[in-house]
Structure 1
Amino acid sequence: MNDRRGALQEYLLRTQPRTVDRGRMVVVERELTRVVRAGVTGAVVEFGCYRGGMTAWMRAVLDALEADAPVHAYDSFRGLPAVGRHDSDYLAEGEFAASVGDVLRLHEQFGLRRPHLHAGLFAHTLPEQLPGRIAFAYVDGDRYESTLECLRAVLPRLAPGAILVFDDYADPAASLPGRAVAQPKAPGVMKACEDVFGTPLAVTSVCEDPTWALGVYRHAVPPTVAAAMSAGPETAR
């Protein structure tokens, strides 16, 4: 199978630098590879896909692993919703507006299978349009309410051993070992996670860049799957 990761990565670094960078791609590839190699079955989903950079990256990773999991992407395609009381005003309402066509053209350009796209507010699409079993999710809602909607919808559908990755989760410059501090540009993301999980320890801060950190949540893992996952994947590109 043709491995499109190298060409796709370089293209995304040039064309979508605000939402897809090398550090994010490393983390997503590493965690998605863990799920596939551990034999966790289910769909791969993305909440907040913008122009489809990470959507395409996940498809390219799956293809390189010869994994046939479907990819579902959810976005209003009208940009971010209004700022809420737990959010920063760093990102304005309407920012990151894109179109379904942007996502499809990117996949066609690199010969990638089209994702299942769900256009509309999370509150309208997630209750009825989420797959019944989810193996991996990339949560890029930016806002408190958006992240909360995603968590409430996705958690009951997670397969044992599934992984959630949260964009803009923590600020590595202010965080200490064992104590992550919210990313000031998107503080609602960590707040939503803490409100749902009841403890900050449920999500691990993972840093591949000095200015931001992703959050990683690992769903309840049976012993046999845990043993397979502990070996870890090969070093990501």
Structure 2
Amino acid sequence: MNMYHLVSQTVAYNVPGDLVEVGCNEGQSSVLIAKVIKDLNADKKLHVYDSFEGLPSARSEDGHSYKAGDLKTSEDILLGNFFRHGLEPPVIHKGWFQDTLKDGLPERISFAYLDGDFYDSIMVSLQYVYPRLSAGAVCLVDDYCDTEINAGGWNNLPGVKKACDDFMSDRPEEICYIYSGAFTHAFFRKL
């Protein structure tokens, strides 16, 4: 899996900082990140962020796949997934991204996984996470679909790509597209 290798690289190359997942939901991806930290015996913490109230309101750029309140879950389900795999629970930041990211992010970040589904969620995530990324850090974005590359691919959350493209338009890093079947990701490495 691409995420496994990207997380492993940041740990193996000693990129300074902790790891974050913005939009952790029930923690399936968080568990994978925590397994890498444990397997590589890294002295790093995993911070996860979620409202646990489901998605916020969508904008017109976000398509019609989800509506406010979809994907609601609980901290207990997230923690249950960690306990089931024998992993140390992450640092949980409960609340909306615009409320939790400003003062709740680690000082330095070596790996960030952004899974906000909507334009505003990804834009807010990038605004707060980007300045804290260490040189060499990786920022992986879920649901980034480039229909020019992946014609006919899953593109039900077009706000994600638009937010990334808008935010990164005047930055030196290049967004790299990862084709992984029906669902897609993109990432950039902080210069």
TM-score range, shorter chain: over 0.9
Structure 2, unaligned runs of 5 or more: none
1:59 aligns with 2:31: no
The one of 173, 180, 186 equivalent to 1:208 is: 180
Residue of structure 2 in register with 1:145 after alignment: 120
The one of 158, 163, 169 equivalent to 2:133 is: 158
Residue of structure 2 in register with 1:92 after alignment: 67
Structure 1, unaligned runs of 5 or more: 1-25, 221-237
- Tell me which structure has the larger Cα radius of gyration: 1
Show the 5 A alignment for 1:61-210: 61-171=36-146, 174-176=147-149, 184-198=155-169, 202-209=174-181
Distance in 1 separating the partners of 2:160 and 2:44: 27
- Deviation per CA, 1:144-166: give whole Å up to 9, x if none: 00000000001110100000000
- Matched pairs, number: 190
- Deviation per CA, 1:68-113: give whole Å up to 9, x if none: 2100000000001111121111112211101111111111111101
Residue of structure 1 in register with 2:190 after alignment: 219
Structure 1 residue 199: Cα displacement: 6.4
Distance in 2 separating the partners of 1:111 and 1:140: 24
- TM-score normalised over the length of structure 2: 0.93
Distance in 1 separating the partners of 2:101 and 2:110: 16
Change (3 A) 1:143 1:213: same
Distance in 1 separating the partners of 2:88 and 2:166: 36
Change (3 A) 1:132 1:126: same
Identity of aligned residues (%): 34
Show the 5 A alignment for 1:23-38: 26-38=1-13
Q: What SS does the aligned partner of 2:156 have?
A: coil
Distance in 2 separating the partners of 1:77 and 1:131: 21
Change (3 A) 1:183 1:155: farther
Distance in 1 separating the partners of 2:152 and 2:94: 32
* Amino acid paired to 2:180: E
Distance in 2 separating the partners of 1:73 and 1:65: 20
* Amino acid paired to 1:135: S
